[in-house]
A and B are shown apart, each in its own frame.
Chain A
Amino acid sequence: MTALYVLDVPENTPLAKVAAEDPEVSVGRIGPYFEITATGPIVIDRRATGCRHAVWYSSVAGVAPGSRIVQHDKNALRVEPVTEPA
């Protein structure tokens, strides 16, 4: 399970909208946060969100234990389930 939290403020709403376009990803809410979840990876394309860099790089509020960010650059944000080494 992968879970990512993003604060619901005007700058961040495109990010939740783009995330929700993936049928494998669910976007719910917990208080004023978007709770973005998936059984596998969550991938959000920065250009599709239209977020400028200052917004993009400060948009993540929390990453649930059991998930981790493996990519957060000018192209994309990618969060994956943590896989324990065999």
Chain B
Amino acid sequence: MTDQDHRAKGVDHAAFPTFDPAGTVRFYRDVLGFPVVHSICAAGWGPENHPDFIHFFFDIGNDDRIAFFYYFGAKPYSDSDRGDAYASFGPEVPEYFIRSRHLAIHVDNYEDLMEYRRRLDDSQWPVEMQIQHETIESIYTHDPNGYMIEFTMALRPVTPQEDLDATLTIDALLDVVAEPDPTFGKLLARKAELIVQRAADWELAQAETAQP
């Protein structure tokens, strides 16, 4: 639990390096239709080996932004085809792990999700997967830099009990990882104890809050 007030206002920007600024602009501006909203042209300064660079930003909605660094003269640091412009991986790293990191952009409804699907499918970066998850539906592709990009919509609003469930999951997880050899089975056992301790009181408190 936290009783600190929550002052943050979403993502200002998330920044990634690119070796392919032309492809990046085509993908985000021309294919997806994300406006360019800011850029910085900077002569290298600070560390001696810092190259001159362009830092450029696209609006991803909600006044949030995705940003890229293009460094003049820099070449990809790896020729591996497993990974992205930022990091590459050897054969010992499993695919599920490489595919874990991604940016998900929210849309309000299925019509908007399908509009982005259409824009991507008409481009050289077509949708690779469309998946109905537990309570969201998503499309996925990789941008020209190899970064996985998801567009996602909620299938229904999140219910209050899901917030309780998330709280109990995290409390159980912290208990289980504090002990040796954490497993999913141990987490479910600990969570069952927390449900018995706290779920009934939570529901009573919800009912009291709801009273006029």
In the complex, the answer to whether A33 meets B195 with C-beta atoms within 8 Å is yes
User: Which residue of chain A has the shortest Cβ distance to B188 in the bound complex?
Assistant: A63
Return A68 CB to nearest CB of chain B, in Å. 7
Return B156 CB to nearest CB of chain A, in Å. 7
Secondary structure at chain B's binding surface: helix, strand, loop or mixed? helix
Within 8 A of A (CB), among B193-209: 193-196, 198-203
With known contacts A65-B192, A69-B188, A33–B133 Cβ distance under 8 A:
no
Report how many residues on chain B are interfacial, defined by Cβ distance under 8 Å: 28
Binds A, one of B26-34, B41-49, B110-118, B160-168: B160-168
User: Which residue of chain A has the shortest Cβ distance to B165 in the bound complex?
Assistant: A7
Expressed in whole angstroms, the Cα–Cα distance for A3 and B164 within the complex equals 20
With known contacts A30-B195, A31-B202, A33-B199, A58–B162 Cβ distance under 8 A:
no
A61 within 8 A of B: yes
A17 within 8 A of B: no
**What are 10 A-B pairs with beta-carbon distances under 8 A?**
A8-B161, A9-B162, A31-B203, A32-B160, A32-B203, A54-B132, A54-B134, A61-B188, A62-B188, A62-B191
